[in-house]
Chains A and B, each alone.
Chain A
Amino acid sequence: MDVSVSHVTKEFARFPALNDVSLDIHSGELIALLGPSGSGKTTLLRLIAGLDQPTDGQILFGGEDASHKSVQERNIGFVFQHYALFRHMTVAENIGFGLKVRPAAARPPKTEIRRRVGELLEMIQLSGLEKRYPNQLSGGQRQRVALARAMAIEPRVLLLDEPFGALDAKVRKELRKWLRDFHDRTGHTTVFVTHDQEEALELADRVVVMSQGRIEQVGSADDVYDRPSSPFVHRFIGEASEVAVRMEDGEVWIDDRTVGLKADGNGPARLFFRPHDLELLTGCGGCFEGVVVGSRRLAGARRLEVELGGGRHRVEIDVPVDHPAAMKSGLNFRPRHWRVFPVAG
């Protein structure tokens, strides 16, 4: 099922949580809404679900306007961050709930419900635990029950709000892989919200990077990591070193010297590169020339703090652990990949 978000704005007490957001989600896609807290990602998910109503704009399911449809009518599967399992119901009752509350005409017979619950339990690998209460399950098990419960109603779209947010690191990793397999097997259109970039990049077909109620960039993991479209995306995804530069005559300038990087455009700008993605040089004819002013050990590398232009700029770069750079020693380097974003005004 295609889902289309068209010029959606959502205000909470005059505060814009989403500002003219448009997004096309393709059928069968696994898509991540990624952003810091307050970026509007959960708001967007809730609007798609129908848990909240947009202030303006439309949400279309398969080309059909869903504005008039209540959450019950949208037939979506929603998985909550804290599972939201019904704690007075057993695992089986939780999973079967969505079928049991259907109007009599659409409700499957009891035996059919039981069969479906059994199937789903098998799918989430919790067969044998159907008589347990949520309180008697681990966090990872609860999350899988929540997923099975959402799947039981055969939703057109599966929406997950920070599905792994409440789990510890190890379970998180396992469940992430499990969700990917699950999606590949079932082929459901799936949207999940996360603030964990690693999770988004690893899991999603496409990542929607959001900030302050707007979509910053939509693209594959490679797109958003290698070709970030804004300073925000560059800073938010992966690590970024940045420095204030100037573009002139097709070159990037730091203060009054060129650094050997080509750029189209004119005026002040910011240069971004990844601390680990650069080459160290010995001689320097147009490169970054700096003095080491700080050093600390990372897992597989050493991170240096380097002053450029006589102390006017400071950037961080990674060098091999056995690199001889000492405090106050000079260092020449040039990023392999970089982005320049003009500074507005």
Chain B
Amino acid sequence: MTDRMLRKPHLRSPTDETLLTKLVLIGIGGSFLAFFLFLPLIVVFVEAFRNGIGRYWDALVEPDAAAAIRLTLTVAAIAVPLNLVFGVAAAWAIAKFEFRGKAFLITLIDLPFSISPVISGLVYVLLFGSQSLLGPILKRYGIEILFAVPGIVLATVFVTFPFVARELIPLMQDQGTGDEEAALSLGASGWQTFRFVTLPNIKWGLLYGVLLCNARAMGEFGAVSVVSGHIRGLTNTMPLHVEILYNEYNMAAAFAVASLLAALALVTLALKTLLEIRFDAGNAGGRRH
């Protein structure tokens, strides 16, 4: 018995590679990621704490930084709920009904993903700027959109527009309309059907979309940069504040603020992973952004 076991060569499964091949591939992939993904992340924290925790803290509580943090939170607090409501409404219309032009509508919703953030900002400059048709009217009534908070919110809404809808549409399409029809046949109102039947089914996908939407809203740079006007303490979001500090060669402070954003990214990734484990990665929508 033992004799035969010893003689038996260990033949590899035909759908498997040799251990060496595996190690080499894992090594290459791992190095690539370490080099391009992990290292930049580590640098942020190392540079942020280079001059000690005291200086780190100073950089965050300094009035302009605090104002930038406040503005970033404000902008996200407006942009995310808006896109959440839109995402749910659009997904309801698209997933629960058959109508003409649906595919085209989905393409339009995805549009902001394929537009350069700079252009996303530019369109608002062209719409509301002093040279535009609306510019003089806005000026007469003293309404400030560009180089003010409303402009920043608009640009942020633009770039984060598809996130929630994108997660919900495939999820709700997969779930079909059977549950809703059953609820309605049992006498539930439209709102009750949504609240008690649809919402529980999509809550994780919804959360997932909100998470990604929020991360982008807080981190958006290009579009916001174009419309903000870079007024310190007033129209600087955190990413813009990072840029200003960096351009002033105030590296430690720049990386301190950046480390907050990086921490936000890490929390987002952790929650996202938890959600995927929680409700099977496959259901987490398209997973493509």
Q: Which residues of A pack against B, CB within 8 Å?
A: 50-53, 56, 67-68, 70-72
Contact = CB atoms under 8 A, between A and B. Distances in A.
A56 B2 CA distance: 10
A226 B255 CA distance: 84
B278 interface: no
Nearest 7 pairs of A and B residues by beta carbon: A71-B14, A53-B11, A68-B9, A70-B11, A51-B14, A67-B8, A70-B14
Contacts of B13: 51-53
B140 interface: no
B287 interface: no
A246 B56 CA distance: 91
Given A56-B5, A68-B11, 9 more contacts: A51-B13, A53-B8, A53-B10, A53-B11, A56-B1, A56-B4, A67-B9, A67-B11, A72-B14
- By secondary structure, the A interface counts as loop
Contacts of B1: 56
Nearest to B10: A53
- By secondary structure, the B interface counts as loop
B4 A50 contact: no
A71 B8 CA distance: 16
17 contacts: A51-B13, A51-B14, A53-B8, A53-B10, A53-B11, A53-B13, A56-B4, A56-B5, A67-B8, A67-B11, A68-B9, A68-B11, A70-B11, A70-B12, A70-B14, A71-B14, A72-B14
A71 B16 CA distance: 12
A51 B8 CA distance: 16
Contacts of B11: 50, 53, 67-68, 70
Contacts of A70: 11-12, 14
Interface string B12-27: 1110000000000000
Contacts of A67: 8-9, 11
B73 to A, nearest CB: 49
A52 B10 CA distance: 11
Contacts of A71: 14
B9 A50 contact: no
Contacts of B10: 53
